[in-house]
Copies of this chain bind each other. A is one copy, B any other.
Amino acid sequence: MKYVKYGQCIKCGKTHEATANLTTCDCDGILDIIYDYEAIKADFTKKDLHHRPRTMWRYKELLPVEDTTTPPPLRVGWSPLYEADRLGAQLGLGKLWVKDDGQNPTASLKDRASAMAVAKATEAGAKVIACSSTGNAASSLAGNAAAAGLKTYIFVPSRAPKGKVAQLMTFGATVISVQGSYEDTFELSKAAIDKWGWYNRNAAINPYLSEGKKTVGLEIMEQLGWEVPDYIAISVGDGCTIAGLWKGLKDLYAIGFIDKLPRLISAQAEGCCPLNRAIESGEDWYPMEENTIADSIAVGVPRNAEKALMAIRESNGIVVNVTDAEIMAAQKLLGQTCGVFGEPAGVTGAAGVKKLCDAGILGENDTVVSVVTGNGLKDVANAIAACGEPISIPSDMEQLLSAFAEHNIVVD
């Protein structure tokens, strides 16, 4: 890895050789992968990107993989960035884009981290990978590993939606559904990984996973022609995703591809917002109940709190908490105005943007990218709860007319 210097503990500053199976520091601090930006700057220009594959692997100078490593088979990354002009106008924003990261192979942003995990596991010579997850990290790991011929052990809390469980079972993972919270799930996975020595895909343990996630930030900037928006909004659970996004943006700034940094908008669910609460209070974070329909971000004990809080603070970010009702409304709004169907946690960023617009904090002078982190098909029950059931009738025109009248549908 020509451009990777080492892994550095964000707590004690100690550096560690960037071996393929790197985990946390002796002090238990999470590591950050440090690059030689001067060397990258000398070798890597925007023009180099023109002919590269449209996947997350196009940014190879900024990724911690060996030159000899073949990217895993599934096509991860380069999800569409849509200009959401009608929705932007409706919200009163200067400009709004929606990055639909539900358009990844297993339908969530987590594919970026899981593809990286598979690449690094291969480098480490591992044949088995394991993780705990609220669902998306799990299904993305199972899919990416299956495509690469690796075995997986997956721990999910029993509340994980059926869509994610169906993916896991189809991809042939050994799935342990833990009767308890995400915290309980994480602890059992940790004990099992310690016992059997599986390659660890827990994002707050394995420092390479943030490096996969950061590609969402690299892509947003390239897709915007390196013109930096004022804000990037994203939902926050464990903290790894927003930390990864920020790392990507800082990388681009460090190598001179962008000339300023956007402010982050950290959106959490009101029923589970330990990180946003810490930012608001200026105090340390402490655990919270996991009380929201947005299962992927229902994380009462965030495993990457430090990196996430640093990212929000460094970016002079805004935090916003939304209710489940606001999440459901955002799901409908994105579907109806953009044709984008996000899962509850996936649209929490957009719900936050709407709330900030309604409060007058964001407005016509602001340009915003809202990241949708997962596809709504993963959690159909909540989508139907949000958007209702269809009109049900026999195949009969009279009954159609009556049903339209009853539902106040005026055909134009």
A interface, CB within 8 angstroms of B: 54, 73-75, 80, 82-83, 86, 100, 103, 105-107, 127-128, 142-149, 151, 153, 156, 158, 162-163, 165-172, 174-180, 184-185, 187-188, 191-192, 195-196, 331-332, 335-341, 375-378, 380-381, 383-384, 386-397, 400, 403, 409, 411-412
Measured in the bound complex, the distance between the Cα atoms of B153 and A162 in whole Å is 29
Contact A169 B54 (CB under 8 A): no
Closest-CB distance, A407 to chain B (whole angstroms): 8
- Having A167-B377, A171-B336, A380-B380, one finds 10 other A-B pairs with CB under 8 Å, namely A106-B341, A146-B335, A167-B383, A171-B339, A172-B387, A177-B390, A184-B394, A185-B395, A187-B395, A377-B378
A180-B394, A384-B169 are contacts. A337–B146 as well, Cβ < 8 Å?
Answer: yes
Q: Which residues of B contact A127 (CB under 8 A)?
A: 412
Contact B390 A176 (CB under 8 A): yes
Closest-CB distance, A116 to chain B (whole angstroms): 15
A165-B384, A172-B332, A331-B170 are contacts. A395–B178 as well, Cβ < 8 Å?
Answer: yes
Closest-CB distance, A402 to chain B (whole angstroms): 12
Please tell me which one of the listed residues B54, B188, B336, B397 contacts residue A172 in the complex, with CB atoms under 8 A apart. Answer: B336
Contact B403 A147 (CB under 8 A): no
Please tell me which one of the listed residues B103, B128, B149 contacts residue A105 in the complex, with CB atoms under 8 A apart. Answer: B103
Measured in the bound complex, the distance between the Cα atoms of B74 and A146 in whole Å is 29
Measured in the bound complex, the distance between the Cα atoms of B166 and A341 in whole Å is 9
Q: Which residues of B contact A335 (CB under 8 A)?
A: 143, 146, 167, 170-172
Contact B383 A169 (CB under 8 A): yes
Contact B376 A178 (CB under 8 A): no
Q: Copy number in this complex?
A: 2
Contact A393 B178 (CB under 8 A): yes
Q: Which residues of B contact A381 (CB under 8 A)?
A: 162
Quick one: closest B residue to A337, CB to CB? B146
Q: Which residues of B contact A331 (CB under 8 A)?
A: 170
Contact B163 A380 (CB under 8 A): yes
Contact B339 A74 (CB under 8 A): yes
Q: Which residues of B contact A54 (CB under 8 A)?
A: 54
A75-B80, A339-B143 are contacts. A166–B387 as well, Cβ < 8 Å?
Answer: yes
Measured in the bound complex, the distance between the Cα atoms of B169 and A387 in whole Å is 6
Q: Which residues of B contact A340 (CB under 8 A)?
A: 105, 147
Quick one: closest B residue to A178, CB to CB? B395
Contact A390 B168 (CB under 8 A): yes
A163-B380, A166-B376 are contacts. A105–B339 as well, Cβ < 8 Å?
Answer: yes
Contact B106 A380 (CB under 8 A): no
Q: Which residues of B contact A100 (CB under 8 A)?
A: 105
Closest-CB distance, A91 to chain B (whole angstroms): 16
Contact B176 A391 (CB under 8 A): yes
Measured in the bound complex, the distance between the Cα atoms of B169 and A107 in whole Å is 19
Contact A384 B162 (CB under 8 A): yes
Contact A395 B180 (CB under 8 A): yes
The 10 closest A-B pairs by CB, nearest first: A147-B339, A175-B390, A170-B335, A172-B336, A169-B387, A184-B395, A377-B377, A166-B383, A75-B80, A143-B339
